Amino acid sequence: MKLFKKVLIANRGEIAVRVIRACRELGIKTVAVCSDIDKNSLHVRLADESICIGPASSAGSYLNIPAIITAAEITDSEAIHPGYGFLAENSHLVEACNASNITFIGPTAENIRTGGDKARARQLMKESGVPVVPGSDTPVLSEEEGVKVAKEIGYPLIIKASAGGGGKGMRIVREENELIRMFHTAQKEALAAFGNGELYIEKFITDMKHLEVQILADRKGSIIHLGERDCSVQRRHQKLIEEAPFTFSDKDITAMLGEKAVMAAKAFKYRNAGTIEFIYDKDGNVYFMEINTRIQVEHPVTEMVTGIDIVKEQIKIAAGNNLSHKQSDVKFSGHSIECRINAEDPETFIPSAGKISLFIPPGGSGVRVDTAAYSGWSVPPHYDSLIAKLIVHGKDRAEALNKMKNALKEFIVEGIKTSIPLHLKILDSQDFINGNFNTGFLAKFLSH
């Protein structure tokens, strides 16, 4: 098996630590990059080498492509793993890697461009026979065009940034008199966040589940899926709790979703790890939502139910190896749940930066904590508020829920506020326990 000798991780936080650990297990040396405020971060301590690439601002450091390429060159790194966020879905980084003879551990530049262009991706899916939500087939360039599309598909509808993600440039429009205002708001937000103000419009499906399927694809075109995840518990399009498999999953649903995900990946001519996201409505209809061309925050729940290390697979594929598994090799066992532990007030959601005076993660059989936090570390205010991912695995959903409750109660974080109290409240909700939730669940839950 071919492998790299040294990999640079172009990220920070828990995902940087996660990649370092995967590299260690494969016998690969690692290089951590950091901003000046992150010099005492755990990923810097764990890596074989580290290099400061700029100031605390993301623009000057973790989004600084020339600095990252230079860091890779002076440390003789053969490959760069981007993690998620920052430059993970930036085709310019892939092209810069190619120009410098450095391997990008992820999809191709064309994969990223096509996946990032939501309108183009929709059209590709339609042509490939993957069902899509009724909506505009091309970007909607003016409010007049938006009004025309809205009349064709009806209300409620959702406006999305073509180059978007993370809920930015996204607005739900329930009545005609809101359309023009929401259109301009979404356009300005998309332009500010992505440098691209193109929008597209879809029918907004209520009472929907947000499901996604993990796929792996090698350079020879072999593609497999690793089952589905339920990511329906969200606040303002930001996921808070994820599960694998889907709450009401059975072999037929898993096979159906997997088949459509593989069809989508083939249409994209996809390579490496990726995620195909779907809408699952109350009538059991499935529609393509988007493709995420990176490792997902919630990938651990899939690892827990399949026993497959997705980050290691990313690295092996990028090094030129074939897939380690055939579809028939993929077996699903039990149920896994992940809670994203954020450094924020659990009631107001205001970020809570500052020094962690005490950090004691939970343990026990079937309990996993992915984190870069530790006692004495200061959470900087410059980046995402995620400080840990708590993942559990049980023989079934009931056991996994019980393990998660106990693990959350054991989790000690002092000095800052966290989302742990909110997670405990959600897990005590009878609707959540019964699996009676969708993407609108959390908004209703918080309003009570």
Retrieve residue 147's tokens.
């009004």
**What is the C-alpha separation between 199 and 221, in angstroms, rounded?**
31
**What is the C-alpha separation between 361 and 369, in angstroms, rounded?**
7
| Catalytic residue, candidates 171, 229, 294, 340 | 294
> Domain 6-105 adopts which CATH fold?
Rossmann fold (3.40.50)
Report the 10 Å Cβ neighbour count for 237: 14
**What is the C-alpha separation between 370 and 438, in angstroms, rounded?**
26
DSSP letter string over 67-83?
HHHHHHHHTT-SEEE--
**What is the C-alpha separation between 74 and 52, in angstroms, rounded?**
12
Domain chopping of the chain, boundaries: 6-105, 134-203, 209-447
Question: What pLDDT is stored for residue 293 in this prediction?
Answer: 97
Question: What pLDDT is stored for residue 164 in this prediction?
Answer: 65
**In terms of DSSP H, where are the helices of 170-327?**
179-194, 251-268, 299-306, 310-318
Cβ atoms of 372 and 42 within 8 Å: the answer is yes
Average pLDDT for consecutive 10-residue bins of the chain (448 residues)?
97 98 98 98 98 96 98 98 97 98 98 89 91 87 90 92 76 91 91 84 90 97 97 93 90 91 97 96 90 97 98 98 97 98 96 97 98 97 96 98 98 98 98 94 90
Cβ atoms of 409 and 54 within 8 Å: the answer is no
Distances (CA, A) of 66 to 10, 70, 190, 422: 12, 6, 25, 41
Retrieve residue 9's tokens.
């991780």
Retrieve residue 323's tokens.
């897939």
Distances (CA, A) of 158 to 141, 150, 169: 15, 10, 10
Dihedral angle, C-alpha 66, 69, 70, 74, nearest 10 °: 180
Per the DSSP assignment, residues forming a β-bridge with 172 are: 158
Sign of the alpha-carbon torsion through 75, 79, 83, 86:
positive
**What is the C-alpha separation between 6 and 23, in angstroms, rounded?**
9
Report the 10 Å Cβ neighbour count for 60: 14
Q: Residue 151: what residue type? A: K
Q: Residue 156: is the preceding peptide bond cis (ω within 30°)?
A: yes
Which distant-in-sequence residues (6+ apart) come within 8 Å of 279 by Cβ? 133, 205, 208, 209, 210, 211, 286, 287, 289
235 carries an active-site annotation: no
Question: What pLDDT is stored for residue 269 in this prediction?
Answer: 97
Report the 10 Å Cβ neighbour count for 347: 10
Would you call 324 helix, strand, or coil by DSSP?
Answer: coil
Q: Residue 346: is the preceding peptide bond cis (ω within 30°)?
A: no
**What is the C-alpha separation between 13 and 187, in angstroms, rounded?**
31
Q: Is the pTM here over 0.85, yes or no? A: yes
Q: Which of 5, 58, 18 is nearest to 35 (CA)?
A: 58
> Domain 209-447 adopts which CATH fold?
D-amino Acid Aminotransferase; Chain A, domain 1 (3.30.470)
Q: Which of 258, 440, 412 is nearest to 332 (CA)?
A: 258
Question: What pLDDT is stored for residue 135 in this prediction?
Answer: 87
**What is the C-alpha separation between 388 and 60, in angstroms, rounded?**
25
Would you call 228 helix, strand, or coil by DSSP?
Answer: strand
Pairing of strands 29-35, 6-9: parallel
Cβ atoms of 146 and 181 within 8 Å: the answer is no
CATH of span 134-203:
3.30.1490.20
Cβ atoms of 104 and 94 within 8 Å: the answer is yes
DSSP letter string over 94-106?
HHHHHHTT-EESS
Query: What phi and psi, each to the nearest 5 degrees, are found at residue 340?
Result: -85, 115
Question: What pLDDT is stored for residue 375 in this prediction?
Answer: 98
Region label for 15, one of left (φ > 0), alpha (ψ between -120 and 50) or beta (otherwise): alpha
